[in-house]
Amino acid sequence: MQEFDTAIDFISYLKAREDLLGRAGTDVSAFGEEELMAAYLRTMDETGTRHVFFNLPPGEDQPDQIIFDGSHYRGLSTDPGYRRKKIADQISYEWDALVDRFLQYGDPGLHEQYVEQTTAETELGLRLLAAEPRFKRRQLAQSFIGALQRVEPGGRLGRLVYSGIAGETVFVFVVVSKRKSESYAEYRQYRISILHAYVMTARLMAELGTTFVGIAFDNPNEENGAGGSEDMFVLVKEDWTEDELRELERKRKELNLWGASMEYWRLKQDEFPAENQAVAMQRVNINNEKATRSNSAPDAKAKAMKRRKKSRQKSQRANRKK
């Protein structure tokens, strides 16, 4: 079960497996657990967002007997997309390492001293970091490592990871430089205050967001003499009044956060990357994007359904390969 090396991935597989094997009136047989695992990994539901063991045509009932022969695991192990997935997932383990550093070196008391964050809220942030599946960890690691590579010496950089999906955790990554006149302890205090401001005002950029996790990093271009550290701030707030949003906008402008120079990037890589998806992130012209969405709004649903159908057909073809 090394394929499911995050808690959420393993639990999702077990739930799907229980649903498959526990259905009354259906006899399921497989050459081994690896056949079930391979079929699950290679097949997506009609929305293209959730793994399933197989797809049925619309309106068709589940068959009385289901047989997973020896072709599924063999097909997975020889699938070029699977090999590309393994390579693409390597960066995701930087997210695991980040979680481990917070668990090993985190200082909840530091946050209580400078911002209104309890130990319980810090623990919630750690659970949210650890709750992400492998594919999302790949995206998050690409984002925060990209920020560390992009920031200039002496500069500050904020990055928002948001998919526009209600209920998802919105992540904010901030890289802050240490000023020469301050000690490292003073720098940590200043950095936490900057992180707090970025996370609070992130609601203006992520309208559906209710849970925000912010992580602040040292600027890697500078030698601070303290060995490096990260800080975390968590915000959970479902409802905002108009006065609160106006105050956030005032603070955003005052501190020059999420300004006009903000760049927008889109993930263009599947869990099993296609051959032409070596570059995961692509820059988006947000003005052209808005105009396109406005002009093509009536066709948006039809295009989305077409993409989902194509994804499902691809999964079905993959599982028919012997």
Mark whether 65 and 181 lie in a shared domain. Answer: no
On whether residue 297 sits in a domain, the answer given is no
On whether residue 299 sits in a domain, the answer given is no
Q: How far apart are CA 174 and CA 215, in angstroms?
A: 6
H helix runs in 176-272, sequence order: 184-201, 242-255
Mark whether 101 and 242 lie in a shared domain. Answer: yes
Mark whether 59 and 165 lie in a shared domain. Answer: no
The two structure tokens encoding residue 169: 């955790």
Boundaries of domain holding 48: 7-78+305-320
Q: Look at residue 193 in the predicted model and tell me its pLDDT.
A: 93
On whether residue 165 sits in a domain, the answer given is yes
pLDDT at residue 112 is higher than 70:
no
Mark whether 121 and 220 lie in a shared domain. Answer: yes
Mark whether 126 and 265 lie in a shared domain. Answer: yes
Q: Look at residue 276 in the predicted model and tell me its pLDDT.
A: 83
Mark whether 264 and 146 lie in a shared domain. Answer: yes
275-317 pLDDT, tens digit per residue, is: 888 777 777 775 555 444 444 444 544 554 555 555 545 544 4
Q: What residue type is 74 in one-letter code?
A: R
Quick one: angle between helices 119-130 and 93-105, nearest 10? Answer: 160
Q: How far apart are CA 198 and CA 210, in angstroms?
A: 15
Contact 55, 312 (CB under 8 A): yes
Residue 170's DSSP bridge partners are 212
For residue 289, what are the contacts with CB-CB under 8 A and spacing of at least 6? Answer: 264
Q: Look at residue 118 in the predicted model and tell me its pLDDT.
A: 77
**65 or 116, higher pLDDT:** 65
Mark whether 197 and 244 lie in a shared domain. Answer: yes
In the chain, the number of structural domains is 2
Task: Report the C-alpha dihedral over residues 93, 208, 284, 293, rounded to 10 degrees.
Answer: 140
On whether residue 298 sits in a domain, the answer given is no
Q: How far apart are CA 196 and CA 114, in angstroms?
A: 10
Rounded to an integer, the average pLDDT of 20-48 is 90
Q: Look at residue 219 in the predicted model and tell me its pLDDT.
A: 94
Q: Look at residue 129 in the predicted model and tell me its pLDDT.
A: 96
**105 or 230, higher pLDDT:** 230
Confidence of residue 120 (pLDDT cuts 50, 70, 90): confident
231-275 pLDDT, tens digit per residue, is: 999 999 999 999 999 999 999 999 999 988 787 777 778 899 988
On whether residue 209 sits in a domain, the answer given is yes
Rounded to an integer, the average pLDDT of 169-183 is 93
Rounded to an integer, the average pLDDT of 137-145 is 95
Mark whether 72 and 98 lie in a shared domain. Answer: no
Please tell me the pTM assigned to this model: 0.82
Q: How many CB atoms lie within 10 A of CB 280?
A: 19
pLDDT at residue 35 is higher than 60:
yes
186-219 pLDDT, tens digit per residue, is: 998 999 999 999 999 999 999 999 999 999 999 9
Mark whether 111 and 241 lie in a shared domain. Answer: yes
Mark whether 14 and 148 lie in a shared domain. Answer: no
H helix runs in 22-173, sequence order: 33-42, 71-77, 80-88, 93-105, 108-114, 119-130, 134-150
Q: How far apart are CA 178 and CA 184, in angstroms?
A: 8
pLDDT at residue 130 is higher than 60:
yes
On whether residue 1 sits in a domain, the answer given is no
Q: Look at residue 199 in the predicted model and tell me its pLDDT.
A: 96
Lowest mean pLDDT segment, chosen from 50-54, 89-93, 221-225: 221-225
Confidence of residue 160 (pLDDT cuts 50, 70, 90): very high
* Average pLDDT over all residues of the chain: 84
Mark whether 138 and 197 lie in a shared domain. Answer: yes
Mark whether 240 and 153 lie in a shared domain. Answer: yes
Tell me 51's DSSP state.
Answer: B
On whether residue 255 sits in a domain, the answer given is yes
Q: What proportion of the chain, given as a percentage, has pLDDT over 70?
A: 84
